[in-house]
C-alpha cells in the first residue's frame, strides 16, 4: 500500500524563505497535506506558482504529482566558460547582441528547419500528444520568453561565460500540459502511485524532457559561440573559441532519492538539483549577473538550492508599477533588450540575488564559488 501511517513520524520540512507572500504560503501548507508527503524545503526565492510554490522541493513516498514539477519540465541553466576575455569583445557587444538574435530564435519562434534531430521513443501518450501539436525539433536551439535568457558574463579574471536559462520549450510544455490535465481530471489532483501505469509513463516523459532541455541549452551555447565568431571575423579577428568548462543545472524535475531509508520521489519546482561538491548556477536578474555555487550535500534541503533570485512582484504588478525610465537607468552599461515588452523582467521585479545567496550560505546549503558580472543579456521579446 502506498500510504503507511506509521511513517508519519519521519515527516519534516525546512524553510529559509523570508517574507513569503500569503498566496505562496497557502500553497506550501496545502502541498504538505498530501498523504504521501514526507519532506519539503522552501528556498529564499520562493513565490507563488501553479499548485505548488516556485522555489520549493517536495519529497513523496512512492508517489508522483506532475503539477509539482510544472509545465517546463527540465528547465535549467548552463554556464560555459570560454577561452576569450572581455577585452576581446568589449568593443563589439552591440553587434554580438544582434547576431545572437539572428542565430537564436526567441519567444515562440522556431528554426525554419531543425538544426539537430535525434531518436525519441514516442511510446507514451504524453509524448505522442506533444509531437502532434508542437514543433519539437524546430525548437531545439531556441530560447523561449519570460524569464529565460542568454547572457555573456565575465568572471574576476575577465574570462567570458555564456550563461543560458532555458528548458524543454513547447515540447516539454505540451507534455506538462497533458499530464497536469490528466492529474486534474483523473486523480483528484493528487497524482499517482509510483507503480501505476500513469506514474511510470510520466517518469519516462520527464527523463525525455530532461535530455531534450540539456541538448537545447548546449545548442544555444554553440549558436552563441558562432555569433561571437561571426562578429569577430568581421573585424579581422580569427580567435578560435572553445569551452574551458561547462556547468549544467536542472531545476524542474522529479528524481528518485533514498533518504533516511525511505524511497522518496523528490519534486523540484524552480529549485536546482545540487549534490555535495557539485557546481550549479543561481540566476540573478538582467543586471546583477549570476552566481556559480557549490553544493554542500544538505539532506534537509533535499540536495537542492534556489534556481534564481526569485520574483518579488508579479508580471502584472511590475508592468503597472515600474516606470520604464527607471528600467533604462538600472540597465545602463549592459547591452540588453530593454523595451516595453521586457519591463516585467526589470531588476526591480526581482529579489536581491546577493541576499538569496547569503541566506543559503548561512543555512549550509551552498558555498559561493564564483560571481559572474553581466555584460550582455538577450531576452525573448
Listed by start position, the domains of the chain span 5-379
Per-residue CA distances from 48 to 52, 174, 321 (Å): 7, 22, 19
Which single residue is written with the C-alpha cell 516595453?
A: 340
**Positions in the chain short of pLDDT 50:** 1-3, 5-9
Q: What's the N-to-C CA distance of the chain in angstroms?
A: 49
Report d(CA 174, CA 286) in Å as an integer.
28
Span 316-345, pLDDT tens digits: 999 999 999 999 999 999 999 999 999 999
Which single residue is written with the C-alpha cell 547591452?
A: 335
Q: Cα dihedral angle (196, 197, 198, 200), rounded to 10 degrees?
A: 90
Average pLDDT over the chain reads 95
| Cell reading at 198 | 500513469
Per-residue CA distances from 77 to 249, 252, 262, 284 (Å): 5, 11, 29, 12
Report d(CA 96, CA 224) in Å as an integer.
9
**Residue 134, C-beta contacts closer than 8 angstroms, at least 6 positions apart:** 169, 170, 171, 173, 174
Per-residue CA distances from 36 to 3, 39, 94, 381 (Å): 6, 10, 52, 41
Per-residue CA distances from 331 to 143, 285, 307, 337, 339 (Å): 21, 10, 22, 10, 11
User: For 46, what's the count of Cα atoms within 13 Å in the CB-facing half-sphere?
Assistant: 30
Q: Which has the closest alpha carbon to 123: 222, 176, 206, 201?
A: 201
Which single residue is written with the C-alpha cell 542568454?
A: 150
CATH number, span 5-379: 3.90.1860.10
- Helical packing angle, 197-234 and 169-186, nearest 10°: 160
CB contact at 8 A, 379 and 342: yes
**What length is written for the chain?**
381
Amino acid at each position: 500500500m502506498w500510504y503507511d501511517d506509521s511513517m508519519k513520524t519521519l515527516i519534516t520540512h525546512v524553510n529559509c524563505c523570508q517574507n513569503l507572500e500569503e498566496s505562496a504560503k497557502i500553497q506550501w501548507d496545502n502541498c504538505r497535506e498530501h498523504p504521501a508527503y514526507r519532506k519539503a524545503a522552501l528556498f529564499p526565492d520562493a513565490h507563488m506558482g501553479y499548485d505548488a510554490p516556485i522555489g520549493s522541493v517536495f519529497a513523496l513516498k512512492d508517489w508522483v504529482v506532475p503539477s509539482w514539477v510544472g509545465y517546463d519540465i527540465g528547465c535549467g541553466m548552463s554556464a560555459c566558460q570560454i577561452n576569450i576575455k572581455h577585452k576581446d569583445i568589449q568593443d563589439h557587444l552591440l553587434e554580438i547582441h544582434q547576431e545572437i538574435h539572428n542565430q537564436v530564435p526567441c519567444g515562440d519562434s522556431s528554426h525554419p528547419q531543425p538544426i539537430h534531430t535525434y531518436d525519441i521513443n514516442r511510446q507514451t501518450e504524453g509524448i505522442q500528444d506533444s509531437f502532434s501539436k508542437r514543433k519539437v525539433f524546430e525548437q531545439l536551439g531556441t530560447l523561449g520568453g519570460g524569464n529565460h535568457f542568454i547572457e555573456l558574463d565575465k568572471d574576476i579574471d575577465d574570462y567570458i561565460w555564456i550563461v543560458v536559462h532555458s528548458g524543454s520549450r513547447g515540447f516539454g510544455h505540451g507534455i506538462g500540459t497533458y499530464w497536469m490535465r490528466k492529474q486534474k481530471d483523473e486523480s483528484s489532483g493528487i497524482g499517482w502511485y509510483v507503480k501505476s501505469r500513469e506514474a511510470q509513463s510520466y517518469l519516462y516523459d520527464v527523463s525525455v524532457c530532461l535530455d531534450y532541455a540539456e541538448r537545447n541549452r548546449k545548442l544555444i551555447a554553440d549558436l552563441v559561440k558562432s555569433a561571437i565568431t561571426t562578429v569577430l571575423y568581421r573585424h579581422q579577428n580569427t580567435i578560435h573559441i572553445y569551452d574551458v568548462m561547462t556547468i549544467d543545472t536542472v531545476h524542474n524535475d522529479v528524481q528518485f532519492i533514498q533518504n533516511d531509508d525511505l524511497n522518496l520521489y523528490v519534486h523540484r519546482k524552480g529549485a536546482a538539483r545540487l549534490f555535495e561538491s557539485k557546481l550549479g548556477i543561481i540566476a540573478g536578474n538582467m543586471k546583477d549577473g549570476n552566481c556559480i555555487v557549490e553544493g554542500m550535500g544538505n539532506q534537509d534541503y533535499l540536495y537542492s538550492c534556489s534556481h534564481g533570485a526569485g520574483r518579488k512582484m508579479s508580471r502584472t504588478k511590475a508592468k503597472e508599477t515600474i516606470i520604464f525610465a527607471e528600467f533604462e537607468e538600472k540597465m545602463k552599461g549592459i547591452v540588453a533588450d530593454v523595451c516595453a515588452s521586457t519591463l516585467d523582467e526589470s531588476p526591480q521585479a526581482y529579489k536581491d540575488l546577493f541576499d538569496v545567496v547569503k541566506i543559503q550560505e548561512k543555512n549550509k546549503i551552498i558555498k559561493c564559488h564564483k560571481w559572474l558580472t553581466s555584460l550582455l543579456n538577450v531576452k525573448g521579446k
